[in-house]
Amino acid sequence: MNSTTNPENVKLTLDSENVKNKKNKTKDILAAILIISLLCTWGYIIWDKNNTRELVAQKDNQLATAASEHDQLQKALDDATMRYDVIKTSNTKKDSAISLKDKEIEDKKNRIHSLLSKVNASQSELKEAKKLIESLNSDIEGYKSQIALLENQKTELTKANEIVTKERDNIKKDYDSSVELLKNKENTIDIGSTLHASNFNIIGLSEKGNGKIKETTNAKKVDKLKISFDLDENMITTSGAKILYIVITDPTGKVITSDQLGSGKFSSRDGNAIDYTQKMEVNYTQNKRQTVSFDWKSMEVFKIGNYKIEVYNNGFKVGEGTRPLKKGGIFG
């Protein structure tokens, strides 16, 4: 047998080696791909984990930021509310504009409180709350300015009222002084217009059966008293009817009164009630002296002693006279 190598065998051997080499190469490629895939997978896992941590951290930061912002907004609301309450407390009197502003502020406060009361308030809600708080602070400043304006107006009005009151009191004082002065003048004129009686003449008269009348001082014989007196000149007293009260007192000190004479009481200037015997009305002429005369007849027998006749005008006693009546002779 020929020891020379058969070409076909050589070719087969080469082909077998090539196939083997290709298989090894394919296996290496697959191993490389597997390793690369494994590395990519691990790389992705590591990246995803890091990315997740970062997202969690960002979320935590966002939550912390939101909580911090919520706390800041809540504090801002509390501060604004406190300022508003202080202003409200100091304001004791409000007008319609202030009352309307109160309602607007309260509504805004309620809306902010509603937003901040939410457990997981969104950024848009926190943003709205922040904007409302800024508006609320502006409203409170405006409210404070209005209160200050009202207080200034109140102060000015109080000062004006004090001035007006002082002027009124001064005017009233002047008026009262004028009234008092006028009253004093009127009182002086009234007192000055009081008439004065003088020149009293009191005579006891005895009436005879034949109609003759005779003067007497014998108490038993006196039938009546003829009384006369003068009303002096007075420049203040106006002309016209004047009232005179005649008070006749008997010897026992009793004022003689009689229904037939129209007796009664009048008030003196000091407020005392005085019994009078007879009231007379005389027509007086200003600044003229004139005589008043009348007869007075007692309903009882005349007594021994002094009969006093007093004349009153305008609440004052203006004159008096006395007529003593005596006991008769041996035969009375």
Q: What is the pLDDT of residues 189-242, one digit of tens each?
A: 889 999 999 999 999 999 987 889 999 999 999 999 999 999 999 999 999 999
**Hey, which residues does 202 pair with through a beta bridge?**
227
Q: What is the pLDDT of residues 134-176, one digit of tens each?
A: 887 887 887 777 777 777 877 888 888 889 888 888 888 888 8
pLDDT-derived band at 1, boundaries 50, 70, 90: very low
- Gap between the Cα atoms of 296 and 203, Å rounded: 10
pLDDT of residue 267: 96
Q: What is the pLDDT of residues 245-261, one digit of tens each?
A: 999 999 999 999 998 88
Query: Mapping DSSP to helix (H, G, I), strand (E, B) and coil, where does residue 104 land?
Result: helix
Residue 42 has pLDDT above 80, yes or no: no
Q: Which of 82-86, 224-228, 264-268, 275-279 has the lowest mean pLDDT?
A: 82-86
What's the N-to-C CA distance of the chain in angstroms? Answer: 234
What does the pLDDT average to over 262-280? 95
What does the pLDDT average to over 1-28? 66
Q: Which of 12-21, 30-39, 102-111, 204-213 has the lowest mean pLDDT?
A: 12-21
Residue 3 has pLDDT above 60, yes or no: no
DSSP string of 211-252, one letter each residue: S-EEE--BTTT--EEEEEEEEPP-SSSPSEEEEEEEEEE-TT
Q: What is the pLDDT of residues 288-301, one digit of tens each?
A: 999 999 999 988 89
pLDDT-derived band at 72, boundaries 50, 70, 90: confident
Number of H helices and number of E strands within the chain? 3, 10
Which pair of structure tokens corresponds to residue 85? 């309450």
Predicted structure pTM score:
0.51
Q: What is the pLDDT of residues 75-134, one digit of tens each?
A: 777 877 877 677 766 555 556 666 777 777 888 778 887 888 777 778 887 888 788 888
| DSSP conformation class of 255 | B
- Gap between the Cα atoms of 137 and 84, Å rounded: 9
pLDDT of residue 90: 59
pLDDT of residue 35: 83
Half-sphere exposure of 214 (CA within 13 A, CB side): 8
* Residue 176 vs residues 10, 165, 179: alpha-carbon distances, Å: 158, 16, 5
Nearest to 241 by CA among 284, 299, 276, 297: 284
Nearest to 270 by CA among 328, 317, 323: 317
- Gap between the Cα atoms of 15 and 21, Å rounded: 10
Q: Which of 18-22, 161-165, 273-277, 316-320 has the lowest mean pLDDT?
A: 18-22
pLDDT of residue 132: 84
pLDDT of residue 12: 65
CA dihedral 232, 235, 241, 246 (to 10 degrees): -30
What residue ranges define each of the domains in the chain, with the CATH number in brackets? 7-192 (no CATH), 197-325 (2.60.40.10)
